[in-house]
Every structure is written in structure tokens, then in C-alpha cells.
Structure 1
Amino acid sequence: MLKDQLPWIVLGIVVVVLVVAGIVLSRVDVTSPVSLRRRVRPHRGHFRNGEVPPADLKQAAIVINPTKFTDQGPVRERIAATCRAVGWGEPLFYETTAEDPGRGQAMQAVKDGAKVVCSLGGDGTVRHVASGLVGTETPLGILPGGTGNLLARNLDLPVDAFDTAMTVALTGRNRRIDVGELVLGDTDRDGNPVGPSESHYFLVISGIGMDAAIMAGTNENLKSKVGWAAYMLSGVKSLVSPEFRTTIRLDTDPEFRRRARGVMIGNCGRLLGGLVLMPNARVDDNQLDVVIASPKGVVGWVPVATRVLTRQRKGHPTLDQRTCQEVRVRVDRPLPVQVDGDVVGEATEVNAIVRPGVLSVRVSAT
């Protein structure tokens, strides 16, 4: 009997196995093995030999003063090559114009996502580009392209090695520095503007009187040929410039009066040729340094020159130095005014105030 039923029993077992197998297989994607459906972590050497996963590369913006170059092609390629060498994307380039010497271009670069905005031109270009970055977190990179490069010198940045300066701009550290703000125009006794006024940022030195006259009298063609020595020639002509009467107020101190040939207001004090006008001035000390120059005739410049050459910190009657956070200077007649080497007009009154730490500058990492 059992022998007769054995084939049916075997057939039943086979059917049950097939049904169970069908149920199991219906819940498994047999076309996609587990090894393919599971995301396997690649070996740590998987992305070597140029197999780098796609990523957004950082970009630098370069604001160029086109008047400084007869052919921008080679310098643009050097900049792009340096960017590629340190793993950055292709740089963004913007040119200054007579109507907008750098501020608008810097602001546009920030909007375009640049991680650093570099100025390529003279001290004026640096100042205008910086003015577009004041109050932002985007750092300023300084590329030497002018005669003075004064802010770069005060920050110990390379001024004779372009590729090194570009590398610092890309890979250096950020340093917060102060900025001076100079306002031309009359104010009342409470410091409120009376009539039209105009405001300018300065990074190094502003001034009214003799120093502005030197800047105004410097021949641009001569400067392009002999560099900073052109300022010296103009300075010799200004040694016997007329005195003027000035009234000065520092912070909330009482006003005092002087006869002077020039009043300089500095954010830092290192000048061309290794000269230091304001030995105590620092770009991040939250204050301004004021120098009142009042030598008598050509002979009177001897102690002034001695003090500058020896970097003496002790005051001198003909070169009086003060510190403050705000200063008002009134003069007895309209005189030329300069900010970082650019003559911005004439005025009978200027007011300057320090803006602490409002600008980030890329400096050497060491």
C-alpha cells in the first residue's frame, strides 16, 4: 500500500518545495544581487591617479587697472597657472574704469562668489578695491602692480615677487586691519556736516597741505620711468611751500592751533625707500596717528629728516606726532587733500575717524 502511494508522496513534497521557493523568490530582486544593491565603500586609493570626485573649486577675483599694462595676456596666464597649481578654479577678471576705479568691481566679485578679491594696480587701486570689501568677510589680496605698494610693505607682503604674492593671496591667512575714513567738508562744533561733503577710505596715510601738493606735483610720465624717485623730485620743490594756520581737535580734547606746512593722518607709517614717518603706527591698533609738520624754511627740514631716517619715536617741535581715534583739521584757506597718494580735491576742513578691524587682508601664513 505504502509502496503504491510513494510516488504521490514524493510528488507532493516536490510541489511543496517549489511553492515555498516561489514565495521566497517573489520577495527577492533576482536581477540585482545583494552585492550590487549595497553601496560598497571604495578603496582609499580609488580616486588616485587623477580620479577625483567632482567638486566646486574656489575662485579668486582679480581687479586689474588696465593702465598699468600694455598687454594683460601674460599676467593673466600667470595668475591662472598659480590658481590651478594650488587647486583653485579659473580666476575671475574685472577691469577698472575712470568712472569706477575698483569699488564696484570688488562688490560685484563678492556677489559672484569669489573667495578672495585681489587688486592689481597701484595704491589707488588697492584703496578702491578695499573700499568695496569693507564690512564684508571676503579678504583682500594685494598683488604688486604700482610704484609704492605701501600697504603691502606695511604688511610685509612680497612686492618684488609677483607669483609669490599671488600664492599668498590664495593660501595665506586672513588678518583684520583698521581703515581710516576721511570726510572733506565743513562741520559745526558738534561735528555735524554743514553743506556738501564727500567721504574716502584710506589704508595708509591721508593728508592736507604739503604732502598732497607733492602728490599733485609728481609727473606721471617720470614716475613710470624712475618710480618712487619722482616723488622725491616733487618733494624738493615743496620744501619751501607756504605755511598755513590750522586748528586741530583730537577726539574730545580741546582744540589747539598751529602754523604748519602739512598735517598727515596715518593708519600705518612705513613709506617708500624704507622711510618710517610714524614709528608707532600699526594697522590694527584701533587708532590713527597724526603728524603735524611745521619746519621753518629749508634748514628746518634737517631735524625732520633726521627723525624720519632714525625712526625716532620721541616728538620734535617741527614734527609733532599725536594719536587719536578721531581728528578734525581746519585750515585758513583751501588746500589740496590726498588719500593714499591720490589727490581728491581741496578743502578747508577734513575729519578723519578710524574704523577698527573692518577689512580682512590675506597675508603670509607664517
Structure 2
Amino acid sequence: MSGSWLLLLAVLLCLLLLAVVLALVVTDPGPRGGRGRRVRPPRSAFRRAAKGGELARRQRAAIIINPTKVPDVAVARDELAAVCERLEWDEPIFYETTVDDPGTGQARLAVDEGVDLVCPLGGDGTIRAVAVALAGTRIPMGMLPRGTGNLLARNLDVPFGDVEESFRVACSGRNRAIDVAWLELDPVAEVEADDEAQAEKPVTGPPVERHPFLVMAGMGFDAEIMGGTSEELKSSVGWTAYVVTGMRKLFVKRFQVRWTVDGQAQKQVAARTIVFGNCGILTGGIVLMPQAQLDDGLLDCVVVSPKTIFGWGALAGRVLSRSEKDMTQLVRRTGSEFTVEVDDAHPVQVDGDVIGEAHRLRVTVDKQALIVRVR
């Protein structure tokens, strides 16, 4: 009997571990149902000239395509041009990303062209690159999500899996302002202005590398998984590739984290990972950060630090139950500026892309800096 109970306990723990891996690193690439929703008229229908009832200038979109995420670029261009024609928009301007420019330069060119809408067609990296160019402008971004990501689309209720439907929402949906978060790798130390002796000394250190993110960024376990999952495996088995890697990385060595929230020092902790979130809903409706809001000018931080398989099980239970209480294995904080310092360099990811290793991080947020189109 005792053996049976131990087997049952092991099975339950494995299921909980799988759930927490999914919660931390996996997004659902499947289509969202739009059935039963009323179709919003195209935005051009609301733009009439003051006299004569004629349509005002037809609007125009720029579509920035990541060709590595689109099976047939020519077919995609034809389909999206047809959507524009049905919605009485001008023929769109198309750009393609390159290895050297994943979308930022193309988005800036589109802004210079005076377009009314910029739509990245690609994965989370393409969306992030375009957002850099549009942040601070009033030109909206319409998401045409592809790849194994799509967490931002999920949190904003933007359809994915159907590019034509996503584009229709981009053209005819409503504007929503969201926050843009920024992560700096090994930022240069600041000098106290009132310390003349220190101020005379040059501040040395690597140049600041400032990376935007719209969903989540992290150091440790989550970045290890992102970096350890091959593109070939993701292409063949989809999001389950992250689960395979996650089970291997589950007991990556913990590291001491010294951190602050809005200038206030926090208790040092031995962590598996530290994650910063602009939104908190993950795959399957799992809520990792219950208080996270996309437009409140704040970020939520989660420090995950289980020691054993039982600790991982307790953590998974707390997350799945949507409890907002902290525990030894799970500490959550909210703020507008975070700093992190660790002894050894660890990998860092933003929105699923590993951007390098660092000893120190600085994370900030610009409130409602980006306009996106939603239903």
C-alpha cells in the first residue's frame, strides 16, 4: 500500500512540475475563437468628409514580414492586400526583416512614409522590434502573430493563428495604450553628484544595452530553457519543445540575488529564476502574476526558488490555485524600477529571446508608451 501511495505521489508531482514549466515558459500557439463576436465596421466607415458624404483619404498600413515565420511570403502579401481592398484601405506597403534589422528600421521607414498603422507579421521578436520604433509615437501597432509565442496577443485578446482575421482586427479594432518595459544588461554605475572626489573619477564599465519587452523578461531558469531549446525542435513539435528542455533544466543551480524595488533593498534570496512581467496571464489561463496590468505603469516581479521536487510541487499548487500569497519558494513584488545583482553572470531573456549574460540588471517601464489595436 505504501508503495502505491508513493507512486501516486510521484505521478502527481510530475504533473505539477509539468504545469509549472508550462506556466513559466510556454505559450499557446493555437487559434483563438472569434465565433459569435460582432464584426466591427472598418475604421474608414467612420471617417467621412464634412461635405458631400464622400470617404476621407483612404488609410494605409505597413506590414513588416519576418520571412522565416511565413511559409509563402507572396501568398501572405496577396491575402493581406485583399483584406485591405475589402475594408476600403489603400494597398499596404510591405517590408521584410533581415538578420541585421529584425524590424525596427523598417518600422521607422513606415513612420516616415506617413502610414496609419504598422503591423508586424512574425514572432514575439518581430513584434518587439517594431514596438521600439512605435513607442512614443501615436501610430498604432496591429499584431499579426506567428511562431510559438503570442502571449501579448493572448493578454490583449487579439486573435492568432488566422493572419487575415488578425489583420482585420488591426484595421478595424480600437486603440489601446500599453506600457513598454526596458531591461539594461550590466548598466554603468551611477555617480553620486555630491561626492566631488568620486565625481572626478571616470565611471568605467560596459556600454548600456537597453532592451525592450512587452510581456516578460527574466534571468536564470527561464532563460536557460529559452536558450537550450533548438529552433529545429520548436519547428517540429511546437511549444512542447520547451517542456522537454524545462524538465532537464528544472534543477539548474540556484544563485544569490541581491535586488531592489523602487530603490528599496529586498531580502537576499537564492533563486532558480527571477522574472519581470508586464502582464500575468499565461498558457491555459494560468495566472503567474495576479496583479499585473498592461497599462498601469508598473511591473510585477516573481522570484522562484524551490530547493527540491516537493518545493516545485508546492510552487505549482500555489500558481495553479491563483493564490496571491507569497511563500518560501515564491516571492512577488510590484514596482516601476528594479535592480538585480548576482555573483556570476547568468543568461537573460526578453520576451523569449536570450540576449546574453549579465551580472547586473536594471528594469524600468514607460507608462502607456505604445498604442496597439485590439478588438
Q: Offset of 1:69 from its aligned partner?
A: 2.1
Select which of 254, 267, 278 maps to 1:267: 278
Which deviates the most, 54-63 or 88-97? 54-63
1:279 aligns with 2:310: no
Q: CA, structure 1 residues 313+255, in 2 after alignment: closer, same or farther (shift >3 Å)?
A: closer
Question: Does structure 2 retain, via aligned residues, the 8 Å contact 1:186–1:348?
Answer: no
The DSSP-based 3-state class of the residue aligned with 1:201 is: strand
1:79 aligns with 2:80: yes
Note the alpha carbon deviations across 1:16-69, whole angstroms, 9 max, x for none: xxxxxxxxxxxxxxxxxxxxxxxxxxxxxxxxxxxx979642111111100012
Question: Does structure 1 retain, via aligned residues, the 8 Å contact 2:278–2:300?
Answer: yes
Q: Which has the larger radius of gyration?
A: 1
Residue matched to 2:154:
153
Residue matched to 2:304:
293
Select which of 253, 275, 297 maps to 1:242: 253
* Equivalent-residue separation in structure 2 for 1:348 and 1:300 (angstroms): 26
Which ranges of structure 1 fall in alignment gaps of 5 or more residues?
Answer: 1-51
The DSSP-based 3-state class of the residue aligned with 1:335 is: strand
Q: Offset of 1:150 from its aligned partner?
A: 1.0
Note the alpha carbon deviations across 1:83-141, whole angstroms, 9 max, x for none: 11111000111101111101111111111111110011111111111111011000010
Identity over aligned residues, as a percent? 49
Select which of 322, 326, 332 maps to 1:321: 332
Which ranges of structure 2 fall in alignment gaps of 5 or more residues?
Answer: 1-52, 193-202
Q: Offset of 1:146 from its aligned partner?
A: 1.5
Residue matched to 1:139:
140
The DSSP-based 3-state class of the residue aligned with 1:285 is: coil
The amino acid across from 1:294 in the alignment is S
* Equivalent-residue separation in structure 1 for 2:177 and 2:316 (angstroms): 32
The amino acid across from 1:163 in the alignment is E
TM (norm. structure 1) is: 0.82
CA RMSD of aligned residues (A): 1.9
TM (norm. structure 2) is: 0.80
Note the alpha carbon deviations across 1:274-311, whole angstroms, 9 max, x for none: 33221211101110100000001222211111122222
Q: Offset of 1:193 from its aligned partner?
A: 8.1
The DSSP-based 3-state class of the residue aligned with 1:299 is: helix
* Equivalent-residue separation in structure 2 for 1:104 and 1:67 (angstroms): 18
1:256 aligns with 2:257: no
* Equivalent-residue separation in structure 1 for 2:336 and 2:74 (angstroms): 44
Q: Offset of 1:246 from its aligned partner?
A: 1.0
Question: Does structure 2 retain, via aligned residues, the 8 Å contact 1:228–1:272?
Answer: no
* Equivalent-residue separation in structure 2 for 1:160 and 1:335 (angstroms): 34
Residue matched to 1:130:
131
Q: CA, structure 1 residues 54+325, in 2 after alignment: closer, same or farther (shift >3 Å)?
A: closer
* Equivalent-residue separation in structure 1 for 2:65 and 2:114 (angstroms): 18
The amino acid across from 1:211 in the alignment is D
Note the alpha carbon deviations across 1:152-194, whole angstroms, 9 max, x for none: 0010111233222111100111111001110001443669884
The amino acid across from 1:78 in the alignment is E
